[in-house]
Copies of this chain bind each other. A is one copy, B any other.
Amino acid sequence: MCLNYPCNCKTDGTPCESCRMTAKDRETEEAQLSKNINTEGQARRTCEPEMNISSSGAAKECGRNWGWMLSGIICLNILMLGCALVSGSAYNNVDISSSDLQIFLIILLLLTSIWMIYYAIYTTKNENAVLYKDGHAGPVWLKGGLVVFGFLGILMDIFKIANYVGYLHCDSAVKVAFPVVQLIFILVQTYFMGMHAKDCAQLQKNITRCGLMLTLSTNLVLWMTAVTEESLHQTIIPDYPSNTTKISGRSLFIQKASYGSDKCHCSHTSCSMFKEAYYYLYPFNIEYSLFASAMAYVMWKNVGRVSDEHHHHNIKFHLRNVFLGPVTGFLLVIAGLATFIVYEMEMKKHNSNGKKDTFLMMHFVVNIVIVTLMSVTSVIGCVIYKVDHREHVSEKNPTRSLDVGLLVGASLGQFIISYFTIVAMVGTGAKSYLDGLNLAWAILMIIQLGLQNFFIVEGLHREPFHEIHPVSSVVANPYVLQPSKELGGFEEKDMDTKPSPVLTERNPHGHTVEHRSKLSWKRWVLKEVCAFLLLANVILWIMPAFGARPQFDHTTETKFYKFNMWAAVVNIGLPFGIFYRMHSVASLFEVYLTT
């Protein structure tokens, strides 16, 4: 676990930039006696752990040096330039081709890969480079997800290469070069993140900060590119009987990513198959970039932190006694998947409105049922938290702060779509039964989002559950308390083998068993709630990620806002909504483990 004192010279004796600076300062010739007094007083103040006034504030200031700001400025500039290029290349009538964007991306990917290799070699050669590791950073689920999504990303790149090779005779070679470079980048980055995600870099801090910010911005630009391509691919321009909309709609949303021109034909026969295949892998590639961004950000936050290494989370995952949540959740996923497949096939087949409406209604009803069940479950979870007096965690943790920020931030995407739907439905008066269902879905979705955010944030901020662990219960010193967390999974074994002296002294009448079962009641409900919500979020992730767009299939909003504006809202909001579901799954898994 990283402590908050990079400048705490006295307790651990690590070299401290700030202290060195003031020491040097004292020796310079311009330091008169009077100034000396002043600096001495202040130096002591900066470098001692300030017990009473906001120690983490002090730590933050110490790290806030030139490299910190320089890395921020680099990130800002890459992001803004990427943003301009991505949005320019998405529009058909802007003179930025997707090759221009891909050249920019190739440069970014190569730079980042080179830096990551340099960092890996440097830290291996230099033993002092990484003295400490942050136990919270790069948890197993994040690393596992990164490897899985990385593998699927590599698969996508191979399909892309196979597809674009067929066009080499009539299109630019950049379209083949980009997936090749991206493939190498994914390999390098997955290795880098797997090995170094927990590092608190101590040497070459400024270079490391800049490198990590480069990694972060590269991944975010990749994410933007993938999201834009995917949105354009999923947006089918409706046969809407208005001239204005048609013109602007078409000029806006023609798919530049795929091959629209009739002149260039694929030289081998399996092109269309590869194209079909890699579009299904897009959602995973999008998640990969986000996972890597999150890890790079946490590593950036950890640069220069001083921490102790022997803090391992060994909470084990098991489904013992948890039955109702997983089973109902699993049934929900099956039901959702079945209706989703039927819905998707029908939407692609039929163009007559009558049949479409039936399947739209089915989709709305299934979603309403899912969202309602989730809201009820979240309420139960919140009530349990209100009843449960487990303490809030008191320790600062960049990984968790980022988790909460991303969760609430990403939920805004779904929020905005729902509110636009509500306004449109209320504005048109919700005349048809489909409008009514759509309105109900939007309102329930907002309620569900609010409750789920509440539940997850509250869950992430509770202390991991430890039933009875003597060490943790007797010692008040938080330093010693900390390691008790890692024992959360072993409490029962511990209890049977090593009855603590305190326990036997105070509790000689065998209350232990009763106590365990009583606590288990709350834990059990919370675990059921988590498991159910987790699976429900999986199905809510699958539907939009693999192409369900009731927002366009149901035309009331398109008519109310006109295609142009509504497509912008959905295409900006939905990627965040999809990420929100994905991220909720990960957070709920963490809550499940710590409960």
Contact status B77-A446, CB under 8 Å: yes
Contact status B515-A35, CB under 8 Å: yes
Q: Mark A62-101, 1 if CB is under 8 A from B, else 0.
A: 1010100100110011001101110110010111100010
Which partner residue on chain B sits nearest A472 by CB separation? Answer: B41
Contact status A560-B94, CB under 8 Å: yes
Would you give the shortest CB distance from A66 to chain B, in whole angstroms? 8
Contact status B394-A57, CB under 8 Å: yes
A169 surroundings in chain B (CB, below 8 A): none
Contact status B468-A91, CB under 8 Å: no
Q: With A52-B3, A244-B248, A453-B73 in contact, do A37 and B91 touch (Cβ < 8 Å)?
A: no
Would you give the shortest CB distance from A438 to chain B, in whole angstroms? 15
Q: Mark A1-34, 1 if CB is under 8 A from B, else 0.
A: 0011000000000000010011001000010111
A525 within 8 A of B: no
- How many angstroms from the CA of A60 to the CA of B392 in the assembled complex? 10
- How many angstroms from the CA of A302 to the CA of B479 in the assembled complex? 29
- How many angstroms from the CA of A420 to the CA of B80 in the assembled complex? 9
Contact status A3-B392, CB under 8 Å: no
A309 within 8 A of B: no
Which partner residue on chain B sits nearest A559 by CB separation? Answer: B95
Contact status A395-B91, CB under 8 Å: no
Would you give the shortest CB distance from A398 to chain B, in whole angstroms? 10
Q: With A45-B481, A518-B30 in contact, do A423 and B85 touch (Cβ < 8 Å)?
A: yes
Partner of A55, one of B40, B55, B446: B55
Would you give the shortest CB distance from A22 to chain B, in whole angstroms? 7
Contact status B394-A96, CB under 8 Å: no
Q: Mark A41-53, 1 if CB is under 8 A from B, else 0.
A: 1111110111111
Which partner residue on chain B sits nearest A462 by CB separation? Answer: B61
A396 within 8 A of B: yes
A34 surroundings in chain B (CB, below 8 A): 468, 473, 503, 506-507, 511-512, 515
A415 surroundings in chain B (CB, below 8 A): 76-77, 80
Q: Mark A431-457, 1 if CB is under 8 A from B, else 0.
A: 000000000000000100010011001
A267 within 8 A of B: no
Would you give the shortest CB distance from A375 to chain B, in whole angstroms? 14
Contact status A391-B248, CB under 8 Å: no
- How many angstroms from the CA of A32 to the CA of B30 in the assembled complex? 66
A140 within 8 A of B: no
Contact status B247-A562, CB under 8 Å: no
A393 within 8 A of B: yes
A244 surroundings in chain B (CB, below 8 A): 93, 247-248, 251
A121 within 8 A of B: no
Would you give the shortest CB distance from A169 to chain B, in whole angstroms? 27
Which partner residue on chain B sits nearest A1 by CB separation? Answer: B53
Which partner residue on chain B sits nearest A562 by CB separation? Answer: B93
A475 within 8 A of B: yes
Which partner residue on chain B sits nearest A394 by CB separation? Answer: B58
A353 within 8 A of B: no
Partner of A54, one of B39, B100, B396: B396
Which partner residue on chain B sits nearest A458 by CB separation? Answer: B69
Which partner residue on chain B sits nearest A49 by CB separation? Answer: B52
Contact status A561-B88, CB under 8 Å: yes
- How many angstroms from the CA of A69 to the CA of B35 in the assembled complex? 47
Contact status A248-B564, CB under 8 Å: yes
Contact status A53-B423, CB under 8 Å: no
Contact status A391-B37, CB under 8 Å: no
A372 within 8 A of B: no
- How many angstroms from the CA of A421 to the CA of B384 in the assembled complex? 54
Contact status B53-A394, CB under 8 Å: yes
Q: With A32-B514, A52-B3, A91-B561 in contact, do A61 and B392 touch (Cβ < 8 Å)?
A: yes
Contact status B389-A21, CB under 8 Å: yes
Q: Mark A368-392, 1 if CB is under 8 A from B, else 0.
A: 0000000000000000001001011
A56 within 8 A of B: yes
A binding-site residues for B, Cβ under 8 Å: 3-4, 18, 21-22, 25, 30, 32-35, 37-46, 48-58, 60-62, 64, 66, 69, 72-73, 76-77, 80-81, 83-85, 87-88, 91, 93-96, 100, 244, 247-248, 251, 386, 389, 391-397, 408, 412, 415-416, 418-420, 422-423, 427-428, 446, 450, 453-454, 457-458, 461, 463, 466, 468-469, 472-476, 478-479, 481-482, 502-503, 506-507, 511-512, 514-515, 518-519, 560-562, 564-565
Shortest 7 CB-CB distances between A and B: which pairs? A57-B396, A54-B396, A58-B394, A37-B473, A61-B392, A248-B248, A84-B419
7 residue pairs A–B, Cβ–Cβ below 8 Å:
A4-B53, A33-B507, A39-B389, A57-B397, A64-B457, A73-B454, A94-B565
